[in-house]
Amino acid sequence: MLNLNQLFENIKTDLKNSKKIEELDEIRIKYLGKKGIFTSYIKNLKNFSFEEKKKYSIIINKKKQEIISLIHQKKQKLTELILEKRIKEETIDVSLPGRRTEYGSLHPITHTINYIKNFFLMLGFQSVNGLEIEDEYHNFDALNISKNHPARDSHDTFWFNDNRLLRTQTSSMQIRIMKKEKPPIRFIFPGKVYRNDYDTTHTPMFHQIEGLIVDENINFSNLKWIIYKFLYHFFGKKVSIKFRPSYFPFTVLSAEVDIINNNGKPLEILGCGMVHPEVLKNVNIDSKRYSACAFGIGIERIIMLRYGISDIRYFFENDMRFLNQFKYN
């Protein structure tokens, strides 16, 4: 009994000195495990008389329950201390400004294409995407572009073979739509086009939106009205606009449209004109009954003019310093 009391005091001393939960587990195993000291005491009871077994087993079990209770209390206290220490170490200063969550945004080209599509949708235009790999007929022949035209040369056009090429303009979709649809026709054709050129104002791949109207009594005044409406919507009503006679193989009359900058200098932004009767003939539309007008807008070009961007290559370099300036909701 003296040894048992001394053992109990030793256990209390060990518990008092323990600083970690792992040390508590070691103490529990040492005294209460299958090979622990209390287990040894119980095994030794077989050497005692029946009365002594009964007496000592009650005492041993009582001490065992006390130890279990002490271990539980110590474990609870250590857990609270660990939690308190962690709270102090992980204290959050709620007065600090929050971390801003970065959200993705549309590329300025994508945003502008959507903006233009929505504008022409209000005017009754349908939007259709076209093939980027074209044949010679739709890209050149049907658009009244002669066989010796410099646009057909390899220094300007990416050819796969004698017939297949990367389209140089979205005008090829004019032919496909006019062959497929019957007048009245009112479409725009946004998409990528390809030309073999690369400098501050040209890239091998860029974006255009082509517009086409085919109907009875369409004239150049209708075309001018649409272009004025679009440019005022895109650049603001204070912009100064100038139509300048030009030449395109697939339109007659033909014009290029300039806006006048603050220095009074004209800047070209798009080409337009009345669709050539020969082009209408190529798609079996009666040019005596129907007339058509078309316009082509360079997307990168008008974005550069709108925001004062000096180099078209910025759009394709994925420089976040540039792209972060365009955050659209």
pLDDT tens digits, 68-116: 888 888 888 888 888 888 888 877 777 878 777 777 788 999 999 999 9
The verdict on 290 and 248 lying in the same domain is yes
The residue among 55, 89, 123 that closes a domain is: 89
Looking at the 3D structure of the chain, how many domains does it have? 2
pLDDT 10s digits, 132-186: 999 999 999 999 898 888 888 888 899 999 899 999 999 999 999 999 999 999 9
The verdict on 145 and 293 lying in the same domain is yes
Domain encompassing residue 237: 108-323
Long-range interactions of 277-285: CB distance < 8 A, separation 24+: 277/252, 278/144, 279/142, 279/143, 279/144, 279/174, 279/175, 279/250, 280/178, 280/214, 282/141, 282/142, 282/144, 282/175, 283/142, 283/175, 283/178, 283/179, 284/179, 285/178, 285/183, 285/214
| Contact between 156 and 168 (Cβ < 8 Å) | yes
The verdict on 126 and 48 lying in the same domain is no
The verdict on 165 and 277 lying in the same domain is yes
pLDDT 10s digits, 285-294: 999 999 999 9
Res 187: pLDDT: 95
